[in-house]
Amino acid sequence: MHMLVQLLTDDDGEPQPHPEYWHLVDPTQCAGDASLCTQEFFGPGESAVEFRVRASRRGGITCPLCVTKIKAIKAIQL
């Protein structure tokens, strides 16, 4: 299960250009919850960003930049 976030405003309270996008919450970010694409932190004590979160078993990511980064990571051969 992975977590998704919908960022509605930035840290300054300005509306995001695409508030309808669902971003992957970066599972490798140890400092706090942040979106994968922009590393924008969100949550209580993190920033003033307005957001919505949800859990998803599969898919649900609609942010093109997050999808591009995920594809780049999946292309790495171990």
Give me the residue spans of the domains in the chain: 1-78
Question: What is the DSSP pairing of strand 2-7 with strand 51-56?
Answer: antiparallel
Contact in structure between 41 and 47 (CB atoms under 8 Å):
yes
Please write the tens of the pLDDT for every residue from 26-78. Answer: 999 999 999 999 999 999 988 999 999 999 999 999 999 999 999 999 999 99
Q: Residues 47, 53, 63, 34: is their CA dihedral positive or negative? A: positive
pTM of this structure: 0.93
